[in-house]
């Protein structure tokens, strides 16, 4: 029963290592600097989460309103075509 957990943990660790390596390559910095900066990066990411969620909700609401208006137009056009 523990083997799946161990495998999942190993997969997560491997993905994390790959991500850190990619970040180091993209930023042209050593992996050790990326690792040293991770706590601050995580803190900033967590601090920005409420704003990010608000923005995502605003975008979703706007998209829903645009779709609602588009459906209203389509229904109006279909009704007008049916009358003619």
Q: Are 29 and 15 in contact (CB under 8 A)?
A: no
Whether this prediction's pTM lies above 0.75 is answered by: no
> pLDDT, tens digit, for every residue of 4-54?
888 899 999 999 999 999 999 999 999 999 999 999 999 999 999 999 999
What the block records as the tokens of 51 is 């704003």
Q: Are 20 and 34 in contact (CB under 8 A)?
A: yes
DSSP state of 28: T
Torsion of Cα atoms, 37 then 39 then 43 then 49, to 10°? 90
Question: How many Cβ atoms are within 10 Å of 34's Cβ, its own excluded?
Answer: 19
């Amino acid at each position: 029963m523990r083997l799946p957990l161990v495998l999942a943990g190993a997969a997560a660790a491997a993905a994390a290592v790959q991500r850190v390596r990619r970040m180091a390559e993209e930023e042209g910095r050593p992996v050790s600097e990326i690792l040293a900066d991770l706590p601050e990066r995580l803190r900033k990411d967590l601090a920005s989460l409420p704003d990010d969620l608000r923005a995502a909700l605003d975008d979703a609401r706007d998209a829903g309103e645009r779709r609602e208006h588009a459906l209203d137009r389509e229904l109006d056009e279909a009704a007008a075509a049916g009358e003619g």
